[in-house]
Amino acid sequence: MDKSRCKQQLAFSLLLGLWLPYCLTQTTPSSTATSKPTPTPTPSPSPRPERLKVRLSGYPRKHNEGRIELFYKGEWGTICDDDFTIANAHVLCHHLGFVSATGWTHSAKYGKGQGKIWLDNVQCHGGEKSIEFCKSRGWGNSDCTHDEDAGVVCKDERIPGFVDSNVIDVIDENKVEEVRLRPVVGMAKKKLPITEGVVEVKYKDGWAQICDVGWTAKNTRVVCGMLGFPHERKVNKNFYRLYLERQKNNFHLHSVACTGTEVHLAACPLEFNKPNATSSCAGGMPAVISCMPGPLFMQNSGLKKKLKISTNVRLKGGAKAGEGRVEVLKDNVWGTVCDDRWNLLSASVVCRELGFGSAKEALTGARMGQGMGPIYMNEVKCLGQERSIWDCPVKNITSENCQHSEDAAVRCNVPYMGLETSIRITGGRTRYEGRVEVLTSDPNGTQSWGLICGENWNTKEAMVACRQLGLGYANQGLQETWYWDSSNVTDMVMSGVKCMGNEMALSQCQYHKTVSCQRAAAKFAAGVICSETASDLVLNASLVEQTVYIEDRPLHMLYCAAEEDCLSKSAAKANWPYGHRRLLRFSSQIHNIGRADFKPKAGRHSWVWHACHGHYHSMDIFTHYDLLNANGTKVAEGHKASFCLEDTDCQEGISKRYECANFGDQGITVGCWDLYRHDIDCQWIDITDIKPGNYIMQVVINPNYEVAESDFTNNAMKCNCKYDGHRIWFHNCHIGDALSEEAERRFEKYPGQLNNKIS
Ligand SMILES: *[C@@H]1O[C@H](CO)[C@@H](O)[C@H](O)[C@H]1NC(C)=O
Ligand SMILES: *[C@@H]1O[C@H](CO)[C@@H](O)[C@H](O)[C@H]1NC(C)=O
Ligand SMILES: *[C@@H]1O[C@H](CO)[C@@H](O)[C@H](O)[C@H]1NC(C)=O
Ligand SMILES: *[C@@H]1O[C@H](CO)[C@@H](O)[C@H](O)[C@H]1NC(C)=O
Ligand SMILES: *[C@@H]1O[C@H](CO)[C@@H](O)[C@H](O)[C@H]1NC(C)=O
Ligand SMILES: *[C@@H]1O[C@H](CO)[C@@H](O)[C@H](O)[C@H]1NC(C)=O
């Protein structure tokens, strides 16, 4: 069925609380139409079976090539190269989130693995979901040695929407894996993060110190970066000497000689002590360092103000602090960075300039969602010492060599704040869902877990809870949790929680001083369903600007629109059916640039039949259309619209999944968009009562945060609007977060300034 025709029939759908389940050419069974909605049952995804973990390992590997290792029965092991084929490599690359394999390697090209050789004589067809479904000799049955370990080379292109939970990036196989700072007893401040102390490295038998002979500030910089701190600072060694000389030290490492740009100590030249000689460090003592935290992790608020972070670089779309798509500001407009040659060195420059440590991961293929604006940089090649990505060598971009599906992103090292220790979830069916419990202490200092009142608990609060739990994005915030196991419930200890959405912990949100909850039972306790990915809707601003016009529409064509509340109040007083309404019309194209499909919250069983246009209402409000004057007051009654959501079209290589016709599933697939043409009924703002002048036109998608998104700051789109009484123009249409603060202020002033000129 032709979508635009269907959309026109459904058109009336841009109304308060409307969902259209299917195209109107289909006749509606009246029984469905009149049936009452049933209560919504538990809306949660079924638990996913644990996927086989696969990783790329060895040296010299890249993010898309390396020795294959599988995690089976609690142990990492390799695959033997006997009978290996490109089809095997396809299956493995697919599993790792790449579109295909370009090759495979034999004879331990990336070095020999350790432990088990899990599979041998593997023969895949190529289409298997996982290597475990391919023919082989069976787990652990092999006559190979590690000299025959197989590797793969994957095409450096991510599967759109790929969830990377099973990809484990191994930083290094050197013996130095983990590093910590041990504060010295007595001098230790209890507060987190720990910024100063003795450097300790983990080795197989525990933690050991580093002999500081020849230790440099560059070494300190590397360790600080690993621990989530952008800079090093001086430390008074004498202060520690006396104490440390009395300690029994175990010097595992010495002669560390970093250049300062390494993202891990293991990448620095260093030497290990021989066993049985580990307590000698002639002329030295254990390395002690001090790091400067970024403003986000700084306790001292005086210092916090002095710390500067870049204002022309930002991270967008990440679930946690220190992760997201890299965006840079040029000529007052934010744009993205292309992932060609994107690596840990460049990513670390970005992390540090934003007040985080070095980079943990340099992500390619828009793994933190896609941007909408310009793409400014390609082939960024930082050396590591730069103060900003803006100082790094880059190539100019052309539209042929980069698309937003290649947007670069980072995961930065952030300091350990221990925030996850004071929150937990219970009662859910998977580890991603449950009633939220927080740890509180009474005046006597006794700590106990307790529930949160479900009243007014919504998506933003759930976002903070999921972030604090380390579980990613909020899929849903639940106000009732009666359907979950309530055998061991605790008392309610928190109520009135109200978050902005960007807090790192619930304790940073507003909440009542004393618990006040009308329905203080566990079944009305706040719950969350968290998710590693989320959708992200954005309106195409340039299309709005290009398609705007005025239509004087005769009243006799507007009966349904009136019934659906698409006209302003004064329409009620008109002399129906004579006369007309003046409508401001434009097209809306809504893209899902996130990492999960956007789906209405309510299932179709709760959609309510609407007689006039013959369609269903479901989600109360999907968009707001408003016209604002210079002081931000709404002058044209914005109507609240709901759509029939579907994939009108998609980026190359992505297939449509949702359609309104024939009771189809509704939603917008990642990488697809839904188009509402300017000539659809109700796709307008009624400006009959508006005087000529300058205004701001605003569209807000998902305004009540009803459906989870990874980023709500890009949900508003605004235009300057000039109306001379006959014609209308839009200028400067842009997404809410696309401009610099300064440019946004200038934009907001536009109506006032021009009003003055006109009058
Ligand atoms: C280390 O010392 C222990 C006894 O202290 C001894 O048994 C062991 O053989 C020594 N190892 C080496 C490598 O010298
Ligand atoms: C990149 O573009 C800028 C202007 O946008 C220009 O000044 C510069 O010379 C270009 N660099 C290269 C290598 O083409
Ligand atoms: C705190 O301790 C005092 C004295 O030990 C006791 O009377 C009081 O009940 C305690 N309060 C709480 C909230 O446990
Ligand atoms: C409830 O608590 C008891 C005792 O602590 C424990 O044995 C049981 O497993 C718990 N039940 C659930 C569902 O967590
Ligand atoms: C937005 O609309 C404009 C104008 O129709 C079009 O050229 C552009 O490709 C659209 N942007 C995206 C990301 O689809
Ligand atoms: C905003 O402007 C409207 C008329 O344009 C006026 O009635 C209203 O009082 C103004 N509000 C403020 C807060 O200035």
Reduced 3-state DSSP string for 419-438? HHHHEEEEECCCCCEEEEEE
Structure-block tokens of residue 191? 């507060």
Same domain, 570 and 709: yes
Concatenate the DSSP letters of all residues of 624-652 into one string. Answer: EEEEE-TTS-EEE-PPEEB-----SEE-T
Cα–Cα nearest to 541, from 323, 714, 755: 714
Amino acid 203: pLDDT: 73
State CA 581 to chain mean position distance: 43
If asked whether residues 564 and 647 sit together in one domain, one would say: yes
506 plus 551 within the same structural domain:
no
Give the integer Cα–Cα distance in Å for 628 and 751: 9
Q: Which of 607, 613, 667, 658 is nearest to 32 (CA)?
A: 607
Atom of ligand 4 nearest to the CA of 485: 13
The per-residue pLDDT for range 499-523, each reduced to its tens digit, is 999 999 999 999 998 889 988 888 8
Question: Do 115 and 158 share a domain, yes or no?
Answer: yes
| Pocket-forming residues, ligand 1, beta carbon under 6 Å | 275-276
Q: What is the atom index within ligand 4 of the atom nearest the CA of 426?
A: 14
In a domain, 297, yes or no: no
Nearest CA to ligand 5 atom 3: 543
3 state DSSP class of 302:
helix
8 A C-beta contact, residue 224 and residue 232: yes
CA geometry: angle 20, 26, 30, nearest 5 deg: 80
Residue nearest to atom 4 of ligand 5 (CA): 543
Compute the Cα dihedral for 67, 68, 73, 74 and give only its sign: positive
332 inside domain: yes
Residue 54: name the closest of 99, 91, 85 by CA. Answer: 91
Residues 184 and 272 in one domain: yes
pLDDT of residue 8: 38
Ligand approaching nearest to the C-alpha of 755: 6
629 CB less than 6 Å from ligand 6? yes
Answer yes or no: is 269 within a domain: yes
User: Separation of 586 CA from ligand 5 center, angstroms?
Assistant: 14
Pocket test for ligand 4, best of 484, 488, 489 (most atoms within 8 A of CB): 488
Specify the residue with its C-alpha closest to ligand 6, atom 1.
631
- 3-state SS class at 395: strand
Domain stops at, among 292, 322, 357? 292
**Pocket test residue of 633, 755, 758 for ligand 6, highest count of atoms within 8 A of CB:** 633
Q: Whose CA is nearest to atom 7 of ligand 6?
A: 633
**Rounded distance between C-alpha atoms, residue 150 and residue 163, angstroms:** 24
Which of the ligands is closest to the CA of residue 441? 3
Atom number of ligand 3 nearest to Cα 443: 13
Mutate to test the pocket of ligand 1, among 273, 274, 276, 280 (most ligand atoms within 8 A of CB): 276
Q: How many CA atoms lie within 13 A of 695 on its CB side?
A: 22
In a domain? residue 584: yes
Please give the pLDDT value at position 276: 55
pLDDT at site 613: 64
* Cβ of residue 378 lying under 6 Å from some atom of ligand 5: no
- Name the strands in the sheet holding 588-592, side by side, starting at the edge strand that comes first in the sequence: 537-539, 588-592, 672-676, 649-650
How many Cα atoms sit within 13 Å of 678 on the Cβ side? 14
Nearest CA to ligand 5 atom 12: 540
Indicate the DSSP class of residue 383: -
Provide the b/e sequence for 529-558 (b: ≥16 CB within 10 Å).
bbbbbbbbbbbbbebbbebbebeebebeeb
Lookup result for tokens 């790192």: 504
Spatial separation of the C-alpha atoms in residues 747 and 739, rounded to whole Å = 9
Tell me: do 8 and 152 sit in the same domain. no
- What one-letter code names the amino acid at 620? D
CATH code, domain with 138: 3.10.250.10
Cβ–Cβ under 8 Å, residues 615 and 24: yes
Residue ranges of the chain whose pLDDT lies below 50? 1-48, 165-174, 754-759
**Ligand 4, atom 8, residue with closest C-alpha:** 488
- Same-domain pairing of 638 and 698: yes
Q: Is residue 128 part of a domain?
A: yes
Of the residues 236, 267, 292, which one is the last residue of a structural domain? Answer: 292
Q: Of how many residues is the chain composed?
A: 759
> Measured between alpha carbons, how far is 356 from 349 in angstroms, rounded to an integer?
10
Does the residue 642 lie in any domain? yes
* Rounded distance from Cα 473 to ligand 3 centre (Å): 39
The ligand 3 atom at the shortest distance from the C-alpha of residue 444 is: 1
- Claim to verify: residue 581 and residue 722 sit in the same structural domain: yes
Nearest CA to ligand 1 atom 6: 276
Query: Where is the domain boundary, 113, 145, 172?
Result: 172
Closest ligand to residue 403's CA: 5
pLDDT (0 to 100) of residue 161: 64
Tens digits of residue pLDDT in 519-562: 888 889 999 999 989 999 999 999 999 999 999 999 999 998 88
**Which strands make up the sheet holding 580-585, listed edge to edge?**
549-554, 580-585, 684-686
pTM: predicted TM-score of the whole model, two decimal places: 0.76
Distance CA 620, CA 56 (A): 46
Instruction: Report the pLDDT value the prediction gives residue 23, as an integer from 0 to 100.
Output: 32
To test the ligand 4 pocket, which listed residue (437, 487, 490) has its Cβ within 8 A of the most ligand atoms? 487
CA 443 to ligand 3 center in whole angstroms: 8
Which one of the ligands is nearest to 448 CA? 3
Helix, strand, coil abundance in the chain, percent, nearest 5: 20, 30, 50
Q: Encoding tokens for residue 527?
A: 């719950």
Whether 43 is covered by a domain: the verdict is no
> How far apart, in Å, are the Cα atoms of 429 and each of 52, 190, 464, 485, 552?
21, 36, 21, 8, 55
Q: What pLDDT is recorded for position 38?
A: 39
User: Is the omega angle on the peptide bond into residue 160 within 30 degrees of 0, that is, cis?
Assistant: no
**Count of the separate structural domains present in the chain:** 6
Distance 759 CA to ligand 6 centre (A): 17
The span from the CA of 546 to the CA of 586, in Å, is 8
Has residue 57 been placed in a domain?
yes
pLDDT tens by residue, 132-189: 999 999 999 999 999 999 999 998 887 776 655 434 344 333 357 789 999 876 655 5
Q: Are residues 487 and 582 in the same domain?
A: no
pLDDT attached to residue 319: 92
227 with 273, same domain: the answer is yes
Specify the pLDDT at position 29.
34
What confidence score (pLDDT) does residue 28 get?
Answer: 32
Radius of gyration for the alpha carbons in the chain, expressed in angstroms and rounded: 29
Instruction: State if residue 694 touches ligand 6 by the CB under 6 angstroms criterion.
Output: no
Distance separating alpha carbons of residues 638 and 566, to the nearest angstrom: 9
Q: Are residues 654 and 614 in the same domain?
A: yes
- Which mutation among 537, 542, 547, 730 tests ligand 5's pocket best, with the greatest number of atoms within 8 A of CB? 542
Q: What is the number of the ligand 1 atom nearest to the C-alpha of 275?
A: 13
Which residue do the tokens 């703002």 mark?
685
Q: Please choose, from the candidates 661, 676, 666, the residue with its C-alpha nearest in 3D space to the C-alpha of residue 646.
A: 666
Domain that holds residue 189: 179-292
- Could you tell me if the CB of 531 is within 6 A of ligand 6? no
Asked if 487 and 585 sit in the same domain, the reply is: no
